[in-house]
Structure 1
Amino acid sequence: MGQLFSDTSKNEDNGDLVSSATKYFMKIKAETKIISQETIRLIELHLKKGNIQGANSVIINALKNIDKAPINIAVTGESGGGKSSFINALRGVEPEDQGAAEEGVTETTMMRTPYKHPKIKSLTLWDLPGIGTMNFPPKDYLEKVQIQEYDFFVIVSASRLTKLELDLAKAIIFMKKNYYFVRTKVDIDLQNEKESKPRTFDREKTLQQIRSYCVNTFSQNSMDAPHIFLISNRHLSDYDFPVLMDTLIKDLPVQKRHNLMLSLPNITEAAIDRKHKSMQQYIWMEAFKAGILATVPVVGIIRDDVEKLKVKLNHYRVLFGVDDESVEFMAKDSQMPVEQLRKILKSPYLLETKEEETLGELFLKYLEKFASANGGLLATGLYFRKTFYLEFLFLDTVTEDAKVLLRETYSKV
């Protein structure tokens, strides 16, 4: 398997390592980076000095922060505005699933309710009691629901903005917190408009009227309009839900972006690609930490590696929604035979071999493909443990599986 960096202060390839790291990080757009620019500069500084242990330490801490950084999203608004269904949509659960936020009921709770994401344990969505159910001013309301704990607020409404919601927005601004306004159930508004004006109905014009009303309401109350997103909790790929996700990711602190990206439902191929790019960054960081400055020895993959790789592959399948449980759910939801979906997947069979030679051949085959696609980085002399190349293979395969499932089931819904 090779060994970790050793006497790096005398290693002539340090310049290549710095060059490789710099080239890789330069290719990533600022709004999608999961490692801060300050951390990147610190890694490069250690590498230039030949201090590989120092660089590894920075990377280990950065990865630990990414894994454990809590994300707390507060969802509030008047009762009946679609808070619960919005929370369920963000968590990728159906109303009847165990642990789902209860939809379509009159709000009586006076306490905030946490909902953990089923796959990303560091992400919690908080269902806050409607401000109209609590008999005190917005500022006191925010203190009651512990405003400082949240990364941002989402005010959800399905109709006209109320004075209480506007006052709440003002209080959130006063307390220097970010908030976003989500107008739900626009699909119902469009359907109603189409039924009432079948000859003159204009979908885009109706959506613009809804958006303009929201903007004008804020303006009439001497407020700058926040980001406004028109969505349907039942049809996430339509309207502004994908734009909302992009905005939330961009506005979060860098170390929190990764887990939020992984939490998003596979509603579009762009969302799946976003997950892929984030996981790719994470794997690269792990590989920088454990890399070797030598060509990869062409030897068999040892049994311990195989077991670890199985765990990694299963983890990626779960994150990308192509594991057995997710496929069964998709089959049921789209009313398709589960075997029909399983047979179009490739990731479940990547490690279906007990022969080390076969797995070794898989490694060599992908290494050639990987080197061809990433020659700029490999040509500088930066190489990783063999298992990391296979992790990239896993990532590419589960990504393609997720896209194939989306295409196959989307047309059936």
Structure 2
Amino acid sequence: MAVQTDCKSVTKEIKALQLHDKPAAVGMVKEPLGMDNITLNIAITGESGSGKSTFVNAFRGVSVDDVGAAPTGVKETTIEVTPYPHPNYPNVILWDLPGVGTPNFPSDKYLERVAFEKFDFFIIIAAAQFKENDVKLAQEIQRMEKKFYFVRSKTDDDIRAEKRKKSDFNEEETLTKIRDDCVQGLRGLGIESPQVFLVSSFELHLYNFSLLQQTLDRDLPAHKRDALLCAMPNFNPEIIRKKKQALKSRIKYWATLSAAGAAVPVPGLSIDVDLAMLVDVVTEYVFAFGLDIQSLKRLSARTGVPYADLRAVIISPLAAVEINIHLLIKVIVRLGSVAALMAAEEVSRWIPFIGIPIAMGLSFTTTYRILNLFLDKLADDAHGVFERALV
């Protein structure tokens, strides 16, 4: 699916270039990137007080005090189906659903009331044991051929409580007992071979959130998998590595588009196309790694690590700034050899007969090198920020 979409996009852009339609060509590369066009609807449900809203905020990388955060409290705070778009990826939407079995959302009418068909999958959350309503909901979701996942929230509270009570406390044994109790309870209510993910919404890097991400990665179609991956918070080094891998897989597509721009002998067209494309792609990298200013400020608020400290570990000049053409030109000029390749491309296109193929090859190589270099540096910064904030 992704390969077919990329091929169609390149074909459209090449046609615009062949028509010498400079505004159209530049406009096309500035359209939203592929994953930004993919809608992913995630339903978060469970009984009232289970921690749904807190989980929604954690998944989106926001604190309860941030604008647009889901309200939380000891009582049921969700009284209607409420969408919470991801701050950087608005097409990735977490839907905070009212508790199962509340007066306005009885269990037997629940899926009908929440319009289940629009959701890609359901996360069923419980703060202790899963109840009969949770199981009825799971069975109905399964009957309607949707995916669901059991998440046991507030695991950190249980660990702290057990640690206070026992002098011979063992965290792994406690986690195993919590999980086994949930699994046995679900089996007793009719769920065969249930998988339960233990999660702390305040410390996603602990317990089973990583396993939940891996399971979603396995179950989702490829195009939605990448959208979810980029929207995920950087809760461990592995997720940063996966993001880098997914973003790197599209670099050849962008380099091919750059080569198409070099094929047309219109003064300045290739550079304009390249710079417009690079602004969008590099901005995507910054957002995916959570290195934009707002993401870093939200991370600071969640972890208590001062923003200045997070900013201090960043080395790339492309992080924690607004990406624009003037900034990219400055950075590229500093690269020396890459800037020389760009200059050579402009000169070579005017060589009779062989000039255009040479320019296309140089344009492909230059864009490929630039994006790989920028991606490597930003991934390194994401690792540095993670270590400063959470390790």
> TM range, normalised to the smaller chain?
0.7 to 0.9
> Contact between 2:317 and 2:331, CA under 8 Å: does it hold in 1?
no
Partner of 2:380: 400
What does the per-residue CA deviation read over 1:155-189, in whole Å, with 9 as the maximum and x for residues that have no partner?
00001121111111111112111100000111111
Partner of 1:152: 121
C-alpha distance in 1, partners of 2:300/2:79? 38
The 5 A counterparts of 1:107-122 are 107=76, 109-122=78-91
> Contact between 1:139 and 1:171, CA under 8 Å: does it hold in 2?
no
Which of 82, 89, 96 is equivalent to 1:127? 96
What does the per-residue CA deviation read over 1:67-109, in whole Å, with 9 as the maximum and x for residues that have no partner?
3221001111011111001101111101111110011142265
Partner of 1:165: 134
The 1:110–1:213 alpha-carbon spacing in structure 2 relative to 1, beyond 3 Å, is same
> Contact between 1:134 and 1:141, CA under 8 Å: does it hold in 2?
no
C-alpha distance in 2, partners of 1:309/1:191? 48
> What letter corresponds to residue 245 of structure 2 in structure 1?
K
What does the per-residue CA deviation read over 1:7-38, in whole Å, with 9 as the maximum and x for residues that have no partner?
xxxxxxxxxxxxxxxxxxxxxxxxxxx847xx
The 5 A counterparts of 1:70-109 are 70-107=39-76, 109=78
> What is the CA distance between 1:257 and its match in structure 2?
1.2
Partner of 1:386: 366
> Normalised by the size of structure 2, how large is the TM-score?
0.77
The 1:178–1:304 alpha-carbon spacing in structure 2 relative to 1, beyond 3 Å, is closer
* RMSD of equivalent CA atoms: 3.5
> What is the CA distance between 1:138 and its match in structure 2?
3.2
C-alpha distance in 1, partners of 2:114/2:129? 24
> Contact between 1:261 and 1:275, CA under 8 Å: does it hold in 2?
yes
What does the per-residue CA deviation read over 1:293-342, in whole Å, with 9 as the maximum and x for residues that have no partner?
x9xxxxx9947745653454344223212223333444555555544443
1:361 aligns with 2:304: no
> What letter corresponds to residue 73 of structure 1 in structure 2?
I
> What is the CA distance between 1:205 and its match in structure 2?
1.3
Q: Percent identity?
A: 37
C-alpha distance in 2, partners of 1:269/1:88? 21
The 1:290–1:101 alpha-carbon spacing in structure 2 relative to 1, beyond 3 Å, is same
C-alpha distance in 1, partners of 2:240/2:364? 26
> Contact between 1:80 and 1:106, CA under 8 Å: does it hold in 2?
yes
> What letter corresponds to residue 80 of structure 1 in structure 2?
G
> Contact between 2:105 and 2:113, CA under 8 Å: does it hold in 1?
no
> What is the CA distance between 1:288 and its match in structure 2?
4.0
> Contact between 1:363 and 1:389, CA under 8 Å: does it hold in 2?
no
Partner of 1:251: 219
> Contact between 1:363 and 1:390, CA under 8 Å: does it hold in 2?
no
1:313 aligns with 2:282: yes
Question: What's the secondary structure of 1:182's corresponding residue?
Answer: strand
> Contact between 2:61 and 2:298, CA under 8 Å: does it hold in 1?
no
> What letter corresponds to residue 256 of structure 1 in structure 2?
K
> What letter corresponds to residue 281 of structure 1 in structure 2?
S
> Normalised by the size of structure 1, how large is the TM-score?
0.73
Partner of 1:376: none
C-alpha distance in 1, partners of 2:301/2:123? 31
Partner of 2:246: 278
Question: What's the secondary structure of 1:348's corresponding residue?
Answer: coil
C-alpha distance in 2, partners of 1:284/1:317? 19
> Contact between 1:230 and 1:240, CA under 8 Å: does it hold in 2?
yes
What does the per-residue CA deviation read over 1:260-305, in whole Å, with 9 as the maximum and x for residues that have no partner?
110010111111111111111233333345546x9xxxxx994774
1:324 aligns with 2:293: yes
C-alpha distance in 2, partners of 1:237/1:259? 20
Partner of 1:211: 179
Partner of 1:189: 158
The 1:331–1:154 alpha-carbon spacing in structure 2 relative to 1, beyond 3 Å, is closer
Question: What's the secondary structure of 2:150's corresponding residue?
Answer: strand
Question: What's the secondary structure of 2:364's corresponding residue?
Answer: coil
C-alpha distance in 2, partners of 1:147/1:203? 37
The 1:219–1:243 alpha-carbon spacing in structure 2 relative to 1, beyond 3 Å, is same
C-alpha distance in 1, partners of 2:241/2:140? 37
C-alpha distance in 2, partners of 1:365/1:333? 43
Partner of 2:170: 202
The 1:100–1:157 alpha-carbon spacing in structure 2 relative to 1, beyond 3 Å, is same
> Contact between 2:54 and 2:201, CA under 8 Å: does it hold in 1?
yes
> What letter corresponds to residue 173 of structure 1 in structure 2?
Q
- 310-319 or 255-264, which deviates more: 310-319
Unaligned runs of 5+ in 2: 16-27, 263-267, 320-326, 343-360
> What is the CA distance between 1:140 and its match in structure 2?
1.9
Question: What's the secondary structure of 1:126's corresponding residue?
Answer: strand
